[in-house]
Structure 1
Amino acid sequence: MNASDQRIDTALRSLAGKRILLTHADRFMGPVLVEVLREHGAEVIADTDPLLDADAPARIIAAAGHLDVLIAALAIPAATSSAVDAGEDEWREAFAAMVDPLPRLFRAALPPMIARRSGKILLMGSASALRGMKRASTYSAARGAQLAYAQSVGIEVAPHNVQVNAIAQNFVDNPTYFPPEVQANPRFQERLQREVPLGRLVGAREDAEFAAFLCSDAANCFVGQIFPVCGSWVPR
Structure 2
Amino acid sequence: MTVRGRTALITGGGGPLGRAFALALVEAGAQVILVGRGEQALADTATRVAKDGGRARTAVCDVSVPASVHALSDQLADEEVSLLVNNAGVAGPVKPLTDIDPEEWDDVFAVNVRGVYLMCRAFLPPMIAVGRGDIVNIASVSGKRPLLNRTPYAASKMALLGLTRTLAGEVGPHGISVNSLSPGPVRGPRMDRNFRLTAELTGTSTEAAERDFASRAALNRLVEEDEVARALMAMLAMPGLCGADIDLSAGMIAPA
Q: TM-score, normalised to structure 1's length? A: 0.85
2:183 paired residue number: 169
- 1:19 & 1:213 partners in 2: Cα distance? 17
Is 2:75 the partner of 1:63?
yes
| Distance apart, 1:203 and its partner CA | 1.5
Change (3 A) 1:39 1:179: farther
Change (3 A) 1:99 1:114: same
Change (3 A) 1:96 1:235: farther
2:243 paired residue number: 224
- 1:181 & 1:195 partners in 2: Cα distance? 14
- 1:180 & 1:98 partners in 2: Cα distance? 17
Alignment of 1:92-171 (within 5 A): 92-171=106-185
Is 2:231 the partner of 1:210?
yes
| Distance apart, 1:137 and its partner CA | 1.0
| Distance apart, 1:95 and its partner CA | 1.2
- 2:25 & 2:34 partners in 1: Cα distance? 11
Change (3 A) 1:95 1:28: farther
Letter in 1 for 2:34: A
2:4 paired residue number: 16
Change (3 A) 1:26 1:34: same
**Bigger relative CO (Cα 8 Å, ≥ 6 apart):** 1
- 2:94 & 2:132 partners in 1: Cα distance? 40
Percent of pairs identical after alignment?
23
- 1:97 & 1:51 partners in 2: Cα distance? 7
Measured against aligned partners, the alpha-carbon deviations of 1:9-38 in whole angstroms (never above 9, x if no partner) come to xx9xx4210110001111251111111111
1:8 paired residue number: none
Measured against aligned partners, the alpha-carbon deviations of 1:117-138 in whole angstroms (never above 9, x if no partner) come to 1100000111112122211111
Letter in 2 for 1:108: A
Unmatched segments (≥5 aa) in structure 1: 1-10
- Count of matched residue positions in the alignment of Structure 1 and Structure 2: 221
- 1:142 & 1:63 partners in 2: Cα distance? 29
- 2:157 & 2:93 partners in 1: Cα distance? 12
- 2:180–2:244 Cα contact (<8 Å) kept: yes
- 2:73 & 2:246 partners in 1: Cα distance? 25
Is 2:88 the partner of 1:74?
yes
Unmatched segments (≥5 aa) in structure 2: 37-60, 197-204
Measured against aligned partners, the alpha-carbon deviations of 1:196-234 in whole angstroms (never above 9, x if no partner) come to 12122122111101112223xx32201111111111222
- 2:106 & 2:219 partners in 1: Cα distance? 35
Letter in 2 for 1:233: M
Change (3 A) 1:200 1:33: same
Change (3 A) 1:206 1:43: same
1:197 paired residue number: 218
SS in 2 for 1:100: helix
- 1:58 & 1:226 partners in 2: Cα distance? 28
